[in-house]
Amino acid sequence: MYHSYFGLKEAPFSIAVNPRYLFMSARHRDALAHLLYGVGVGGGFILLTGEVGTGKTTVNRSLLEQIPDNTDIALILNPALNAVELLATVCDELGIEYDSGEQSLKVLTDKLHQFLLSNYASGRNTVLLIDEAQHLQFEVLEQIRLLTNLETNTKKLLQIVLVGQPELRALLNKPELRQLAQRITARYQLKPLNLAETDAYIRHRLQVAGLPANQTLFPKKVVKGIHTVSRGVPRIINVLCDRMLLGTYGQNKTMVDRAMLKQAITEVMGEEDDIELHAPKNFWPIIASLVAAICIAAAWWAWPTASIEQAAPKVVATPDIKEPVIVAPSIPVKPVPATPIWINNEQQAINELASVLKIDTTTLTIDCNKKGYTSPRCERLTVKTWQELMEYNRPAVLSMITAAKMQVYVTLVAIDNQQATVQLNNQIVEVPLSAIGEIWTGDFMFIWTPPPGYSKPFSAEYSGPMVKWLAQQFAELDDQNSLLAEATFNAALVQRVKIFQKNNQLLDDGVVGLKTLLKLNERLNKATTLNPLTDNTATEG
């Protein structure tokens, strides 16, 4: 109804799951990474829980799309079944034939076991995913646990993923199910969106529906109110936003306002819960008045009684007395010259970069012309844009040519909007980014620490010490105890690398090279970057 009015092609806030509107926040990426990690490790249980509407179905669909090709999956959407019905449904999902007249736990389990052994011999994995698992009965959960006993001497034959609401965690914490709980190899609690993610979520859905990037329908104050009321639950955000756009259209307005937010809250929630939409009241004037009253009272009681008995003194005009003004001590700020004095010696600039990274150059010389992978290593590269430079996200020495055709250098420490923080002659100053961009050639150098034994990019089927090192990094990133691989770069580790690359806007080819290693160090907080990670982007999982 209102789509064409706002220049949209379709409804942006439908509660139906549409893959085109997929929004993967840092939390959703973490959840997906845990699921993929568990599927890659194989055997046991993977647990994903979250409140209603937080996006568990979104994560499930992403898992199904990115699961390795050598994996067969049985998807159970209605777990309100008894043990026999559940096993029969699993067999149906996997295409296992059985006699419908002889359904029993033994017959179905034997059929499933034969299928799992055949799959294992063919190099295929089998996954059972149960959604809404909080509805599973005790005896059914126990039967599911027994399915993980189907194994060879070296590997479990069935990986089980349980997805449900927080009650599922409480259910699995019961003493009766401790054996099942001990077999959970990866677990993740999917939390609602924070304020920044809520804003990004709303803008993402509007742009997918056709809204131009420079047009705003939901001002910041309204978004803040939406987040407060919805508590970051995407499903509630959708319902509120849809109702607000409909109301805004009905009033011939071009932007949602707070009055429309209040109306939507009343219509959707059934009451006008506006308590938290206003900023907290400022009680400082009241406190100041109380303090002043106490001081006056204290002065009155402390006044000498003799003064009351004396005659009132003659009133004498007193000069105006001004309150003393307390001035905070000023912090000297080094003025930035209109034309910065650039460094004309490359090695001096490299040494300044080393000092930024706290590398002692008195005992270690950084040579950017040296070949081979030393530690630490200086990389010399060329890019065409600031965006390409930011993909490396490391403090760097930039090479520049002045108007006088002189070769000069500057050590770039940080970038914030249009300002660059640089180190010049051992002093940190800020200069406009444009002052550097006008004369920067695109050449730059940065220092990083390669992993032990790294000499060139590596990928699938590679065998060597780098495999275990890489698996250890991902185990640390995913907060897991077991490794995806030990000596050979197997399919599970390749898949984890591809997911990591895709989530970090890298080419997801599964090849571990310079950019992948830099981003991995960054996500593990093991590197000094131009733009440090914030809580909103947090850790990729």
Give the model's pLDDT for residue 283: 45
pLDDT band at 318 (very low <50, low <70, confident <90, very high): very low
Residues 462 and 478 in one domain: yes
- For tokens 């049985």, name the residue: 74
- The enclosing domain of 13 has a CATH number of 1.10.8
Task: Look at residue 274 and tell me whether its pLDDT is greater than 80.
Answer: no
| For residues 271-295, average pLDDT | 49
Q: In what order do the strands lie in the sheet containing 159-164? A: 71-76, 125-130, 159-164, 44-50, 184-190
Answer with the residue of higher pLDDT: 221 or 3.
Answer: 221
Within a domain: 410:
yes
Within a domain: 278:
no
Closest of 406, 487, 391, 393 to residue 441, by C-alpha:
406
Among residues 190, 223, 243, which one ends one of the domains?
190
Mean pLDDT of the chain: 80
Tokens of 119: 């799959």
Within a domain: 306:
no
Tokens of 193: 């969106």
- Using CA atoms, how far apart are residues 168 and 170, in angstroms rounded to an integer? 5
Choice among 391-395, 423-427, 438-442 with the minimum mean pLDDT:
423-427
Answer with the residue of higher pLDDT: 334 or 249.
Answer: 249
- Sign of the Cα torsion 244, 248, 253, 257 reads negative
Residues 151 and 46 in one domain: yes
Q: 248 and 216 in contact (C-beta within 8 Å)?
A: no
Within a domain: 493:
yes
Task: Look at residue 3 and tell me whether its pLDDT is greater than 90.
Answer: no
Q: 244 by DSSP, 3-state: which?
A: helix
> What pLDDT, in 10s, does the model give residues 334-363?
444 555 678 888 989 999 999 888 888 777
Choice among 35-49, 57-71, 303-317 with the minimum mean pLDDT:
303-317
Residues 210 and 122 in one domain: no
| For residues 83-108, average pLDDT | 88
- Using CA atoms, how far apart are residues 173 and 258, in angstroms rounded to an integer? 43
Residues 491 and 431 in one domain: no
Give the model's pLDDT for residue 394: 93
Choice among 101-105, 143-147, 235-239, 262-266 with the minimum mean pLDDT:
101-105
| For residues 130-158, average pLDDT | 85
Residues 174 and 211 in one domain: no
The total domain count for the chain is 4
- For tokens 């307005």, name the residue: 253
Task: Look at residue 517 and tell me whether its pLDDT is greater than 80.
Answer: yes
- The enclosing domain of 148 has a CATH number of 3.40.50.300
- State which H helix or E strand residue 35 sits in: helix 26-41
Among residues 269, 303, 318, which one ends one of the domains?
269
Task: Look at residue 530 and tell me whether its pLDDT is greater than 80.
Answer: yes
Residues 361 and 216 in one domain: no
Residues 111 and 138 in one domain: yes
| For residues 448-467, average pLDDT | 88
Task: Look at residue 519 and tell me whether its pLDDT is greater than 90.
Answer: yes
- Using CA atoms, how far apart are residues 232 and 65, in angstroms rounded to an integer? 25
Within a domain: 322:
no
Compute CA 75 distance to the chain's CA centroid, rounded to the nearest angstrom. 27
Tally: H helices and E strands in the chain: 19, 11
Residues 523 and 403 in one domain: no
- For tokens 């756009």, name the residue: 245
- Check: pTM over 0.75? Answer yes or no: no
Tokens of 412: 């770039």
Between the alpha carbon of residue 318 and those of residues 140, 159, 314, 376, the distances in Å are: 91, 89, 12, 74
Residues 355 and 498 in one domain: no
Within a domain: 294:
no
- Using CA atoms, how far apart are residues 275 and 464, in angstroms rounded to an integer? 60
Among residues 190, 210, 232, which one ends one of the domains?
190
- The enclosing domain of 497 has a CATH number of 1.10.101.10
Q: 186 and 223 in contact (C-beta within 8 Å)?
A: no
Residues 395 and 359 in one domain: yes
Within a domain: 329:
no
Task: Look at residue 197 and tell me whether its pLDDT is greater than 80.
Answer: yes
pLDDT band at 313 (very low <50, low <70, confident <90, very high): very low
Give the model's pLDDT for residue 404: 82
Residues 426 and 462 in one domain: no
Residues 105 and 121 in one domain: yes
Within a domain: 326:
no
Range of the domain at 204: 4-18+194-269
Give the model's pLDDT for residue 470: 94
Q: 407 by DSSP, 3-state: which?
A: strand
Task: Look at residue 312 and tell me whether its pLDDT is greater than 70.
Answer: no
